[in-house]
């Protein structure tokens, strides 16, 4: 490649990264607004502040790899390619949502993109990821399962059990801890005897790395290398990305557990601002590019809202649909005929 | 007819499943080298190898969750949990994932998982190894619950469960493993959804399942000597419950006694009683009666444990009282 094509590649890559980070940010800002209007209900856990982790890490996967996610997963879903409209419609509770309105914000699923859901039990997704990887290994498939979780999950038994089993059975799972420093309102040094998450991998013989989750290019590099390690070694890897949630835990919380000053300090390290600064410096984006990205994103979000608005409500007759998988069974009209029972039970 | 023990029947079911479908594998605590804590999987490690007969760490939550994940990933896992009391460590995965994933994903996912576990008391194993908690599972939409009570059902229910696209929980009463009985054909096991009438009678309906079936049959024979002819229904499936068969019997006998090793409060017996009232109230000549475990964590001492569990005498007494007072 000559110099100009390298620059062009960098430029396109930078614009993709910016587009994805800004899409998540604006999509969630809109979601918060729609929550206030009552269009979205239930719990709404915003990812704002943590965008660099999803945008850096998820593209390191191929479309054949699998993802198991958490209840703060709008960003993960969007980066994986679930259309914004399908995510928005899900939060509206409509049938054109990615889980047909049965899941809501915390349970986004898209099996065609191998996105195995927002799991709203902290650490509940880790054993599932281990199982997906086991199925891949037993069937000789060259897949990686990316398992996302927060620092809160590290206190759960399932975290330790899952790391142990994945290491013991040599399963291709990339455990990615999005350490936003708080398990809901409990800061990590108040719930972990040793707050560095990545060091815990050593006791399971798992390779691990730590990355600044506010630096999207660093996350990208760390994730690529971690995915490569999992794929080539056929063993799990633990990557810890230190990040920060700018908004409340869910839509409303008094944030008594952290100071405004702390939040402001982290906002000065906003991953989007940092990356915009760097991209401008490198000549990857111009002000015009930014304006056009913003207007493209605004249009996409407006479209996602109309898609959600236009969606149908599931008819009440279908309330109990999809509790069980439909199967065709032979019709049997009466119970088995009386049979003598010779069992000698005492 | 061939004679077999319940344990041999379970093992034959496992062997057949492993032979007939390469996606089937067994995992659980001590299922491999140890041969299974009840010896159900003895010899399978040697026959099928460590990829398919997998000893797990004592991590119920994670190996059940891994079963769910591998089922989603295209395998047909059979997960063995040593006893129902230990399954509580995996309740999160069972209730929050296995039972919900299909609905919560809008029908995108099926979880063809089979979980087997031992249940029930009677072996002086005290309050952490003896309970009958299958009703907790039968409470949950999204899963199926079965309780093979005969050698034939022990032999064939696993294969039937593996054909289901959704999670199936198989409860094996631990006292049944050494029981010997006639091994029937798969047609005798029929399906996972229907109850079976194990003894036909006209005076009283005894509804039961699992380990209590045999106590109920023995009680029925005692009662026959006293001139009371009892219909004994083996539910086989605890979710869904085959109420048409129960109601048909009640329409014939007009009296029902439910024998259930679970604690009485909020029991399967309570559910069946309620459904009989809803579906056959005007058929009843007497209030529905229940013979359940006494409301106590299972004590160790034998005489106390015996007194806590449903037994033949208590069943006979309940039926006799019903016939005497509501003849």
Residues A164-180 pLDDT 10s = 999 999 999 999 999 99
CATH number for the domain formed by residue range(s) A3-318? 3.40.50.970
pLDDT of residue A253: 87
pLDDT of residue A342: 46
Question: Chain A residue with minimal CA distance to B221?
Answer: A341
pLDDT of residue A252: 81
The pTM of this model reads: 0.95
Average pLDDT of chain B to the nearest whole number: 97
Q: What is the pLDDT of residues B103-120, one digit of tens each?
A: 999 999 999 999 999 999
Tell me the C-alpha distance between A34 and A175, whole Å.
33
Section A217-246 average pLDDT:
98
Q: What is the pLDDT of residues B279-323, one digit of tens each?
A: 999 999 999 999 999 999 999 999 999 999 999 999 999 999 999
Residues of A in contact with B57 (CB under 8 A): 161, 164-165, 168
Q: What is the pLDDT of residues A184-206, one digit of tens each?
A: 999 999 999 999 999 999 999 99
Return the ∠ at Cα A150 (arms to B29 and A176), rounded to 5°. Answer: 75
Q: Which of residues 3-32 of A touch B (CB under 8 A)?
A: none
Tell me the C-alpha distance between A305 and B218, whole Å.
67
CA distances from A286 to A257, A279, B294 (A): 39, 8, 77
Question: Chain B residue with minimal CA distance to A159?
Answer: B62
Which tokens hold the place of A20? Answer: 């994805």
Give the nearest partner residue to A121 out of B25, B56, B96, using CB atoms: B96
Question: Chain A residue with minimal CA distance to B200?
Answer: A338
Query: Taking 70 as the threshold, does the pLDDT of residue A336 lie above it?
Result: no
Question: Chain A residue with minimal CA distance to B112?
Answer: A325
The CATH architecture that domain B196-325 belongs to is: 3-Layer(aba) Sandwich (3.40)
Query: Taking 90 as the threshold, does the pLDDT of residue B187 lie above it?
Result: no
Helices (H) and strands (E) in chain B, counts: 14, 14
Collapsing DSSP to helix, strand or coil, B168 comes out as strand
DSSP 8-class letter at B145? E
Q: Does the beta-carbon distance from A343 to B56 stay under 8 Å? A: no
Give the nearest partner residue to A132 out of B69, B150, B244, using CB atoms: B69
Share of chain B above pLDDT 90, in %: 96
pLDDT of residue A27: 98
Task: For helices A125-138 and A157-168, give the axis angle rounded to 10 degrees.
Answer: 10
Tell me the C-alpha distance between A161 and B66, whole Å.
11
Structure ipTM = 0.95
Boundaries of every domain in chain B: 2-189, 196-325
- Residue A339 pLDDT grade (very low, low, confident, very high; cuts 50, 70, 90): very low
Residues of B in contact with A111 (CB under 8 A): 105, 108-109
Alpha helices in chain A (DSSP H): 3-36, 51-57, 74-80, 84-92, 125-138, 157-168, 188-191, 216-233, 260-267, 271-282, 287-310
Section A275-301 average pLDDT:
96
Q: What is the pLDDT of residues A116-128, one digit of tens each?
A: 999 999 999 999 9
CB-based contacts of B182-185 (< 8 A; 24+ apart in sequence): B182/A342, B182/A343, B182/B1, B182/B2, B182/B3, B182/B151, B182/B152, B183/B1, B183/B2, B183/B3, B183/B4, B183/B9, B183/B151, B183/B152, B183/B155, B184/A339, B184/B1, B184/B150, B184/B151, B184/B152, B185/B152
Section A103-125 average pLDDT:
97
pLDDT of residue B34: 97
pLDDT of residue B190: 79
Tell me the C-alpha distance between A73 and B22, whole Å.
35
Give the nearest partner residue to B67 out of A131, A138, A341, using CB atoms: A131
Query: Taking 50 as the threshold, does the pLDDT of residue A337 lie above it?
Result: no
Query: Taking 60 as the threshold, does the pLDDT of residue A344 lie above it?
Result: no
Residue among A73, A225, A212, A90 nearest A144 (CA): A225
Q: Does the beta-carbon distance from B66 to A134 stay under 8 Å? A: yes
Q: Does the beta-carbon distance from A336 to B197 stay under 8 Å? A: yes
Which tokens hold the place of A178? Answer: 């999005």
Q: Does the beta-carbon distance from A335 to B197 stay under 8 Å? A: yes
Query: Which residues does A148 contact at the CB level (< 8 Å), separation at least 6?
Result: A67, A68, A69, A70, A73, A76, A125, A176, A178
pLDDT of residue A340: 43
Nearest-Cα distance to chain B for A109, in Å, is 5
Q: What is the pLDDT of residues A8-46, one digit of tens each?
A: 889 999 999 999 999 999 999 999 999 999 999 999 999
DSSP 8-class letter at A245? -
Interface membership of A268 toward B (CB under 8 Å): no
pLDDT of residue A129: 98
Boundaries of every domain in chain A: 3-318
Collapsing DSSP to helix, strand or coil, B182 comes out as strand
Q: Does the beta-carbon distance from A107 to B103 stay under 8 Å? A: no
Q: Does the beta-carbon distance from B96 to A161 stay under 8 Å? A: no
Section A216-231 average pLDDT:
98
Which tokens hold the place of B146? Answer: 């079965």
Q: Does the beta-carbon distance from A158 to B73 stay under 8 Å? A: no
Interface-testing mutation among B66, B123, B200, with chain A (most A C-beta atoms within 10 A): B66
Q: What is the pLDDT of residues B202-238, one digit of tens each?
A: 999 999 999 999 999 999 999 999 999 999 999 999 9
Average pLDDT of chain A to the nearest whole number: 94
Residues of B in contact with A68 (CB under 8 A): 69
Residues of A in contact with B161 (CB under 8 A): none
- Residue A1 pLDDT grade (very low, low, confident, very high; cuts 50, 70, 90): low
CA distances from B80 to A232, B10, B14, B117 (A): 32, 12, 11, 6
Q: Does the beta-carbon distance from B107 to A338 stay under 8 Å? A: no
Q: What is the pLDDT of residues B64-118, one digit of tens each?
A: 999 999 999 999 999 999 999 999 999 999 999 999 999 999 999 999 999 999 9
The single residue listed with the structure tokens 């089937």 is B24
Tell me the C-alpha distance between A245 and A227, whole Å.
25
pLDDT of residue A285: 95
B2-189: CATH topology is Rossmann fold (3.40.50)
Lowest mean pLDDT across A69-78, A247-256, A273-282, B38-47:
A247-256
Do B2-189 and B196-325 fold alike per CATH? yes
Per DSSP, what are the bridge partners of residue B205? B231, B256
CA distances from A132 to A32, A116, A146, A226, B244 (A): 33, 10, 10, 18, 39
- Residue A343 pLDDT grade (very low, low, confident, very high; cuts 50, 70, 90): very low
Tell me the C-alpha distance between B17 and A278, whole Å.
59
Dihedral angle sign, alpha carbons of residues A311, A315, A316, A321:
negative
CA distances from A39 to A32, A33, A82, A104 (A): 10, 9, 20, 12
Tell me the C-alpha distance between B121 and B113, whole Å.
26
Residues B293/B132, Cβ–Cβ less than 8 Å: yes
Tell me the C-alpha distance between B157 and B134, whole Å.
16
pLDDT of residue B226: 95
Tell me the C-alpha distance between B80 and B179, whole Å.
20
Residues B246/B275, Cβ–Cβ less than 8 Å: yes
**DSSP H or E stretch at residue B217:** helix B212-225
Residues A242/A213, Cβ–Cβ less than 8 Å: yes
Residues A174/A147, Cβ–Cβ less than 8 Å: yes
Residues of B tagged active-site: 60, 129
Nearest-Cα distance to chain A for B290, in Å, is 21
Q: What is the pLDDT of residues A203-217, one digit of tens each?
A: 999 999 999 999 999
Residues A52/A216, Cβ–Cβ less than 8 Å: yes
Q: What is the pLDDT of residues A85-100, one digit of tens each?
A: 999 999 999 999 999 9
- Residue A345 pLDDT grade (very low, low, confident, very high; cuts 50, 70, 90): very low
Give the nearest partner residue to A341 out of B66, B142, B150, using CB atoms: B150
Query: Taking 60 as the threshold, does the pLDDT of residue A113 lie above it?
Result: yes
Residues of B in contact with A343 (CB under 8 A): 150-151, 179-182, 214, 217
Tell me the C-alpha distance between A154 and A193, whole Å.
11
Interface-testing mutation among A343, A344, A346, with chain B (most B C-beta atoms within 10 A): A343
Nearest-Cα distance to chain B for A324, in Å, is 6
- Residue A332 pLDDT grade (very low, low, confident, very high; cuts 50, 70, 90): low
Q: Which of residues 130-149 of A touch B (CB under 8 A)?
A: 130-136, 138-139
Share of chain A above pLDDT 90, in %: 90
- Residue A341 pLDDT grade (very low, low, confident, very high; cuts 50, 70, 90): very low
Nearest-Cα distance to chain B for A234, in Å, is 16
- Residue A3 pLDDT grade (very low, low, confident, very high; cuts 50, 70, 90): confident
B293 phi and psi, to 5 degrees?
Answer: -75, 150
Q: How many CB pairs under 8 A join A and B?
A: 199
B31 phi and psi, to 5 degrees?
Answer: -80, -20
Residues of B in contact with A107 (CB under 8 A): 104-105
**DSSP H or E stretch at residue B214:** helix B212-225
A147 compared with B189, residue with greater pLDDT: A147
pLDDT of residue A331: 61
DSSP string, B219-264: HHHHHHHTT--EEEEE--EEES--HHHHHHHHHHHS-EEEEEEEES
Interface membership of A336 toward B (CB under 8 Å): yes
Q: Which of residues 92-121 of A touch B (CB under 8 A)?
A: 97-103, 107, 109-111, 116-117, 119, 121
Residue among A320, A246, A307 nearest A87 (CA): A307
């Amino acid at each position: 490649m000559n110099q100009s094509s390298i620059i062009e590649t960098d430029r396109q890559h930078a614009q993709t990264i910016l587009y994805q980070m800004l899409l998540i940010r604006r999509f969630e800002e809109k979601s918060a607004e729609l929550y206030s209007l009552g269009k979205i209900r239930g719990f709404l856990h915003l990812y704002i502040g943590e965008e660099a982790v999803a945008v850096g890490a998820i593209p390191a996967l191929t479309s054949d790899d699998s993802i198991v996610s958490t209840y703060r997963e709008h960003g993960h879903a969007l980066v994986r390619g679930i259309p914004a409209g399908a995510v928005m419609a899900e939060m509206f509770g409509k049938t054109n949502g990615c889980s047909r309105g049965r899941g809501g914000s915390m349970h986004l699923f898209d099996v065609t993109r191998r996105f195995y859901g927002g799991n709203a039990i902290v650490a509940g997704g880790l054993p599932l990821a281990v199982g997906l990887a086991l199925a891949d290994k037993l069937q000789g498939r060259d897949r990686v399962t990316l398992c996302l979780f927060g620092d809160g999950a590290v206190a759960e038994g399932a975290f330790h059990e899952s790391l142990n089993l994945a290491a013991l059975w040599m399963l291709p799972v990339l455990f990615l801890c999005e350490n936003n420093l708080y398990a809901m309102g409990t800061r990590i040094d108040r719930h972990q005897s040793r707050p560095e998450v990545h060091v815990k991998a050593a006791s399971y013989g798992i390779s691990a790395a730590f990355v600044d989750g506010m630096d999207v290019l660093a996350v990208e590099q760390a994730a690529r290398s971690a995915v490569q390690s999992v794929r080539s070694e056929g063993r799990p890897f633990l990557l810890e990305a230190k990040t920060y949630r700018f908004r409340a835990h869910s839509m409303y919380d008094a944030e008594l557990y952290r100071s405004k000053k702390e939040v402001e300090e982290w906002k000065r390290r906003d991953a989007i601002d940092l990356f915009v600064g760097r991209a401008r410096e490198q000549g990857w984006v111009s002000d015009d590019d930014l304006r056009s990205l913003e207007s493209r994103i605004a249009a996409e979000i407006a479209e996602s809202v109309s898609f959600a608005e236009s969606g149908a409500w599931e008819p009440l007759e279908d309330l109990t649909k999809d509790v069980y998988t439909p199967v065709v069974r032979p019709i049997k009209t009466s119970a088995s005929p009386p049979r003598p029972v010779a069992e000698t039970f005492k | 007819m061939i004679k077999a023990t319940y344990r041999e029947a379970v093992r034959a079911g496992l062997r057949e499943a492993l032979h007939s479908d390469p996606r089937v594998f067994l995992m659980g605590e001590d299922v491999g080298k140890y041969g299974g804590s009840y010896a159900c999987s003895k010899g399978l490690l040697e026959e099928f190898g460590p990829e398919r007969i997998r000893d797990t760490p004592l991590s119920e939550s994670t190996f059940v969750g891994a079963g769910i994940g591998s089922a989603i990933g295209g395998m047909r896992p059979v997960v063995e949990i040593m006893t129902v009391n230990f399954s509580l460590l995996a309740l999160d995965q069972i209730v929050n994932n296995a039972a919900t994933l299909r609905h919560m994903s809008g029908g995108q996912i099926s979880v063809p998982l089979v979980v087997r576990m031992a249940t029930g008391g009677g072996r002086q194993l005290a309050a952490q190894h003896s309970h009958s908690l299958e009703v907790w599972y039968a409470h949950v939409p999204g899963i199926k619950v079965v309780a093979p009570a005969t050698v034939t059902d022990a032999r064939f229910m696993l294969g039937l469960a593996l054909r289901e696209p959704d999670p199936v929980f198989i409860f094996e009463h631990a006292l049944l493993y050494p029981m010997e009985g006639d091994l029937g054909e798969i047609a005798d096991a029929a399906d996972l959804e229907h109850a079976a009438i194990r003894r036909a009678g006209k005076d009283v309906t005894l509804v039961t399942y699992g380990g209590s079936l045999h106590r109920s049959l023995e009680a029925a024979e005692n009662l026959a000597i006293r001139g009371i002819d009892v219909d004994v229904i083996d539910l086989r499936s605890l979710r869904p419950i085959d109420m048409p068969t129960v109601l048909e019997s009640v329409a014939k006998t007009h009296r029902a006694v439910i024998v259930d090793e679970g604690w009485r409060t909020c029991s399967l017996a309570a559910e069946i009683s309620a459904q009989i009232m809803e579906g056959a109230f005007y058929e009843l000549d007497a209030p529905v009666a229940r013979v359940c475990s006494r409301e106590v964590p299972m004590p160790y001492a034998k005489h106390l444990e015996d007194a806590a569990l449903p037994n033949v005498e208590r069943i006979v007494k309940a039926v006799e009282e019903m016939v005497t007072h509501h003849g």
